[in-house]
Amino acid sequence: MRILINALSGIGDAVMFSPALALLKKHSPGSIIDAVVMFKPVEELFKNNPHITNTYFIDFLKQSKLKSLKQTLALRKNRYDVSINVYPSNRREYNLVQYLEGAKVKVATRYNHYSRSNLDFLNNILIDEVKDRHNVLENFELVKPIFPNMIADELGKLELHLQDSDTAFAHEYISSNALNGQLLIGFHAGSAIFKGHINKRWSAIKYGSLAKQLAERYNAKILLFGTETDVNELIMKLGGSNVIIPKTSNILQSLALMKVCRLFVSNDSALMHLAAGLGVPQVAVFAYTNYKELHPWQNRHIIVRTELDCSPCFFNSPKPVNCIYTGKDEFKCIKLVEVSDVMAACEALIEEIPGNIKS
């Protein structure tokens, strides 16, 4: 069987498909499973995944539509039996791409919002989206029609595959920066910015205060991850000398460094899911997105969020997030999360670390 995975929506979404991908390979080890991506970090992750045969990068965002069309139509020669749009992919362009790829069976999600306008009728099989169902389980429901004997209990952890060179890079970085034996805590204070998701970021000023408190109490070294340079530089300025911005060449080197951290603190972001895949205990700060659908999968974590009647309010659709409040109360779901709330969660997880780290 030839299967094509359309993982066009982003890093975190691609990683949350990995348990379903592993099941596909388990139930049909002889199948050829290819993937189409449009973000370079996703390409790097999938090229390392032993379940993927070929990864095709199409730069839909930057190159001409004609070139993208030619590359999409070129996939038809592979004569795929099945293609799957990774959840969530609630844009008409994703369904159009899947249709043009020409697989005999095309599987996608029927979304609760704005499905009529997203051309989902171009697919053969549509799986109903279920509110509060985790993204990993949504992806499982997409692959189950191919092998009906699959059961959700077979789903494992999020999968990430590092190369030996990436692990060696992390060990060398730790050694050369005299970080051996230190309590290393990773931060990711950024997030995607499309659909207004910059508004789910917890304040960089508060991250700076948290970094300072962790350094003072535990002599922790804080490693800042992500591409948000301005945010990380502000945290380093406020957090003090124990805060470090590691220089890495690619996402795999960053993952190798994240893996040696004993704790990871982040917003709801792609790196939050990557930390879960690495098995690093984590504190996840949530705003208006649904933590029931997006919490770190099968990994020790504590969610910190503000309980409001209106939250979570964001659902999967092409439309940007819109807060019912204005002025200083706009997106108060994230603004009301205090440093003390996140610090308490960090303390609880640090107490669980083998070796019983003391202040």
Reduce the DSSP state of residue 179 to 3 states and report it: coil
pLDDT at residue 115, rounded to an integer: 63
Q: Strand order of the sheet with strand 125-128?
A: 54-57, 32-37, 2-7, 82-85, 105-110, 125-128
Chain mean position to CA 182: 27
Instruction: For strands 125-128 and 82-85, give the pairing.
Output: unpaired
pLDDT at residue 315, rounded to an integer: 86
Domain 164-350 annotated CATH 3.90.550.10: no
Residue 153 has pLDDT above 90, yes or no: yes
Beta bridge partners of residue 187, listed in sequence order: 224, 265
Residues 3-19 have a mean pLDDT of 96
- Grade residue 327 by pLDDT with cuts at 50, 70 and 90: very high
- Output the pTM of the full model: 0.95
Distances (CA, A) of 94 to 103, 243, 352: 14, 40, 43
* Length of the chain, in residues: 359
Query: Domain 2-154 carries which CATH code?
Result: 3.40.50.2000
- Grade residue 359 by pLDDT with cuts at 50, 70 and 90: very low
3-state per-residue secondary structure call for 19-74: HHHHHHHHHCCCCEEEEEECCHHHHHHHHCCCCCCEEEECCCCCCCHHHHHHHHHH
- In angstroms, the CA 224 to CA 176 distance is 17
Q: Strand order of the sheet with strand 263-267?
A: 243-244, 221-224, 184-188, 263-267, 282-285, 301-304
- Grade residue 192 by pLDDT with cuts at 50, 70 and 90: confident
One fold for 2-154 and 164-350:
yes
- For the chain, the domains span 2-154, 164-350
pLDDT tens track for 58-70: 999 999 999 999 9
The two tokens of residue 23 are 């099941």
Residue 358 has pLDDT above 60, yes or no: no
Chain mean position to CA 46: 14
pLDDT tens track for 280-324: 999 999 999 999 999 999 999 999 999 999 999 998 877 889 999
pLDDT tens track for 14-39: 999 999 999 999 999 999 999 999 99
